[in-house]
Amino acid sequence: MNEILQQTISFVRKALEDAEKGHDWFHTERVWRTAVHIQRLEGKGDLQVIELAALLHDISDPKFNEGDEEKGSRIAGEFLERQDLDRERILHIQKIIRHVSYKGGVPQEEISSTEFRIVQDADRLDAMGAIGIARAFHYGGHKNRLIYDPSVPLQEYSSSEEYRASPAPTINHFYEKLLKLKDLMNTETGKALARDKHDFMLLFLKRFYEEWDPKTGNSG
């Protein structure tokens, strides 16, 4: 492992010590390892950019910094400058960090780089499947949101701010984000990994509704 990678791991682990546990070091580590896995299977992309962007992607999540969508890229840029990384790579990594997150389905600037597509797939894959379910309910508990309320309708969002501020129950989040991710994957590897995770979430929801109301086995 090269020195800049080691320094980045140490920096991120320290920065995320007190993070909400669905967006902590373990989340970042999974995204990093998944991004490397995708890069190796796809056989393309600048591995250094991919690894550093994956490690730094949640260094300051707007959900936890009063909605500042530039803070994470600023922190990452300042850190990488201290590591003497070349300017072109720093700017590329900052752009990935600014745009990698899901923003409620609101149209975003289209980023074409292979590195961005791989890191975004890795981040989205961690929001799916068993771990994605666990993270969703952990965050819902962190915000003291309802698990489910059949009377609360699904929403469409006009801005990332409105999406982040939504008090909707966690089950709604499956339909407003998690179940949409399969069709938003960028790479062939990401698409293949997402299918199984998607099917598991559907199975979970089926069982959830059966336990919520055994007589109907559905959401109402």
For residue 1, the model assigns a pLDDT of: 62
Residue 220 lies in a domain: no
* CATH number for the domain that contains residue 94: 1.10.3210.50
Mean pLDDT, residues 45-62: 93
Residue 217 lies in a domain: no
Residue 135 lies in a domain: yes
Q: Is the pLDDT of residue 158 over 90?
A: no
Q: Is 159 exposed, middle or buried (0-12, 13-18, 19+ CB in 10 A)?
A: exposed
Question: What is the per-residue pLDDT across 98-152, written as a single tens digit (0 to 9) for each?
Answer: 999 887 665 566 678 999 999 999 999 999 999 999 999 999 999 999 999 999 9
For residue 219, the model assigns a pLDDT of: 56
Report field, pTM of the whole predicted structure over 0.85? yes
Mean pLDDT, residues 152-179: 89
Question: What is the per-residue pLDDT across 168-186, written as a single tens digit (0 to 9) for each?
Answer: 999 999 999 999 999 999 9
Residue 175 lies in a domain: yes
Residue 218 lies in a domain: no
For residue 160, the model assigns a pLDDT of: 75
CB 154 within 8 A of CB 220: no
| Residues in Cβ contact with 103 at an 8 Å cutoff, skipping those fewer than 6 apart | 160, 163
CA distances 198 to 18, 138, 190, 218, Å, are: 30, 19, 12, 18
For residue 67, the model assigns a pLDDT of: 66
Residue 103 lies in a domain: yes
Residue 162 lies in a domain: yes
Q: Which residues of 3-20 are buried (b: 16+ CB within 10 A; e: fewer)?
A: eeeeebbebbeebbeebb
Domain, as residue range, for 17: 3-212
Q: Domain total for the chain?
A: 1
Residue 144 lies in a domain: yes
